[in-house]
Amino acid sequence: MLVVAGTLTVIGWLMQHLADQGLIANGAYGIATLVAGLPIIFKAISALRARVMSIELLVSIAVVGAVAILEFEEAAMVTFLFAFGNFLEQRTLQKTHQAIQNLTEMQPTTATMVVDGQYQEVEIDEVDEGAVLVVRVGDQIPVDGEIISGSAEVDEALITGESKLVNKTTGDQAYMGSIVENGQILVQAQKVGEDTTFGKIIELVEEAQDNQAPMSKFIDRFAKYYTPFVLVVAILILLFTKNLRLAITILVLACPGALVIGAPVSNVAGIGRGAKAGILIKGGDVIDQLAQVDTILFDKTGTVTEGRPTVKSIKEYQEDHWLALAADLEKQTNHPLARSIVEYYEKRGQKTTADFNLPITTIKGIGIQSEYQGQTIWIGSRRVLTENQIELTTQQARDLQVIENDGQSVVLMTVDQKLVLMVGLVDQIRKGVKETFEKLKQSGIDKQWMLTGDNSVIAEKIAKTIGIHQVEAQMLPEEKALFLEQLQNDGRHVLFVGDGINDSPSIAKANVGIAMGNGTDVAIETSDVVLIDSDFSNIQNARRVAKATMRNTMQNVGIAVGTVALLLIGVAYGWVNMASGMLFHEISILVVIFNAMRLLRMKF
């Protein structure tokens, strides 16, 4: 359609200006106007039915007016250039969505399932949780799951953005979309389809790109009132000057095409650039809030640390099977410290956890509680002692002090108000944490707090290592959320970074909540930004994307408004006519689009 309209317009111009065939030229212009103009008129009518006076209405009235005064060339030029602008807009949006389309196309469609010792190729939709799949060299891993046998070098670039190969072996997590480059593994499915990390990436980015920024919403409202305003101005000009051509020219040149697409294109391009780097920003509102953040609060375990602690010391105060019971209870939770205790027990003598079939009650910020043979069992942080008013022996108090002074996190197990087990665990600080906090401070986030449920000795030691001076320790989840709310009441724009279910209240309450990609589903669902590869430096990169997107949007608004103002001045002084003005309009749309696409090439 666009090609036909453009070709006919060119033919009309050649017939009119070179062959002096006015009748043929007007015929070509007329058909071109119909071909390119009818879709515009239909959009205007649809908008009117919804009681919205759209930009298309301005163009439609202007074109009808141009035809009425027999200015067929201007009518053809206007409709073609407006249609061409829409085409450019759609192409740009399509390009910024291309990364998501590519992801969708990269989803594995089949899997090789192990059934009664035999390999059976099935459609991916037939794979259920718990199924065992074999993945060989060159195959994509079709599910999220645990490797139960074998080892392999895996390319996880589709998930993490990192091109280096990762060694995977029994007990490691495997992610849908990753490619086995060397080796063979058996994977037990834990998440399939849309529930996988890969599926959530696609879902989150699609939702984000459909979520308008405040600037986009403002422009939509602006256009709703701007159109009737321009119509009134054009009518007044017609009444006072009796110049129909001038009134129609005003209608055409006042169309703020670049303004309408400027903010959405910037928004989509910024979100697309973030997704390319493993930063999922859930919409334009988040970009606006993230650019304004001046305070950061963050959890310790699994956030500034790797979240893969290992047992360094263990003290057993009764010769009984308490460690086995602790491992059995802890395997029912998803806390990193709990997983580490289970792994330690299973590796110590290649044992597997016993199955005591004991229900547990989770007490947020403290630990878990259960009943065993009439005895009350508690496993958790130091708060277990104060919660149950337990007094330590001299030796136990000395052991606890030594472990904590060494910077180890402590898990305590009590049975009927007696301490029976003390476990000390160490966790590695994530790469680049100290540098990231320094960069955030330089960029304007001058208030930085670490909030943790761990004890103050460990918290202070970690904080000193990463260069943080403000620490709040031994905090319950509700206390973290209350602390955050107090900062907001003081006028601070707060960013909260966490990974676990305990962090979800604070992540949800913050102006912007960031979840590490290795965190729980609850934290990821309630967050505004997800760092897929849990790269801490991407916190700073996410903010850079947000600020760059906001700057880009304002630049586009300035280009659009400036273009309209200059064209109207040109009309007033007789320097600009309808066709030349429309050409400048489309040039401004191109400038806005190319300006937004610079975000896709943003370097970190």
Q: Which residues are tagged catalytic?
A: 299
Closest CA relative to residue 534, chosen from 549, 514, 553: 514
Question: What one-character-per-residue DSSP string does 77-120 give?
Answer: HHHHHHHHHHHHHHHHHHHHTHHHHHHHHHS--EEEEEETTEEE
Q: Which tokens in the block code for residue 27?
A: 């015929």
587, 562 contact by CB (below 8 A): no
Closest CA relative to residue 141, chosen from 160, 125, 156, 129: 156
Residue 513 dihedral angles phi and psi, to the nearest 5°: -110, 130
Rg (CA), the chain: 32
Residues 6+ apart with CB under 8 A from 391: none
Residue that the structure tokens 């330590």 belong to: 392
Residues 6+ apart with CB under 8 A from 162: 156, 533
Question: What one-character-per-residue DSSP string does 431-500 give?
Answer: TTHHHHHHHHHHTT--EEEEE-SS-HHHHHHHHHHHT--EEE-S--HHHHHHHHHHHHHTT--EEEEE-S
Burial class (CB in 10 A: 0-12, 13-18, 19+), 489: exposed
Contacts 24+ apart (CB under 8 A), 348-351: 351/324
Enclosing H/E stretch for 512: strand 512-516
Instruction: Return d(Cα 63, Cα 547) in angstroms, integer.
Output: 40
Instruction: Return d(Cα 325, Cα 329) in angstroms, integer.
Output: 6
74, 63 contact by CB (below 8 A): no
Q: Which tokens in the block code for residue 2?
A: 């666009």
Pairing of strands 295-298, 447-451: parallel
Instruction: Return d(Cα 506, Cα 504) in angstroms, integer.
Output: 5
